[in-house]
Chain A
């Protein structure tokens, strides 16, 4: 069965520092991969997605993620974090086909120090 692991429950970084959030997935075929962000009291907003092609994908708000098949990873990165990036981040994997179900990781909460 598919699964998604986000090893870090909570990460704190200083404003202006670089960020990497880890995501590992378990899936037999080429997965569809997503990163979502959730601000407090809000729904989830799509940051970026990977379907195929270039393994480095760019998203909104200056985020990028790299798909590494050999490591079953899809880590999210940002070169310089802003205070407004403080939120919870979710990695998700989908299997495509005739239904659109996604499997979500348990999330990583990002705090940003001034």
Chain B
């Protein structure tokens, strides 16, 4: 049981390049989300999804796109990378059973540098 898998673990981009951060979970969780973590800022929600075909914006969505075509996968796309997007990105998933906030399971993160 792999849990939440993020790829790549490290990436360096040049300003203006595009890329996709991959996230996959094997727990059949309905909820998936992307956070960015910056020093002294904690985790800030970028986008989230409560099921296949359903996505919504979080606190800091600008510059990022997401899609959810399957329950398992939730990729995060940077269309035109900017230095301000240098950060550590975490994907998380959880069950939505019973209307309660269930604990979120986190991947190990992707460390992204934009030059």
Which residues of A are in contact with B by a Cβ distance under 8 Å?
Answer: 9, 32, 34, 36, 41-46, 49, 51, 90, 94-102, 104-107
- Assuming A43-B4, A43-B108, what are 9 further A-B pairs, CB within 8 angstroms? A32-B100, A34-B103, A96-B99, A96-B101, A99-B50, A100-B96, A100-B101, A101-B45, A107-B42
Across-interface contacts of B99 in A (CB, < 8 A): 96-98
- 8 closest A-B pairs by beta carbon, nearest first, are A94-B101, A32-B101, A43-B106, A100-B31, A106-B42, A104-B43, A44-B106, A104-B42
Mask: chain B, 95-115; 1 = CB below 8 Å from A; 0 = not: 010011111111111000000
Tell me, yes or no, whether B25 is within 8 Å of chain A by CB. Answer: no
Which residues of B are in contact with A by a Cβ distance under 8 Å?
Answer: 4, 30-31, 33, 35, 40-45, 48, 50, 56, 58, 90, 92, 94, 96, 99-109
Bound Cα distance from A14 to B9, whole angstroms: 34
Asked if B94 and A100 sit within 8 Å, CB to CB, the answer is yes
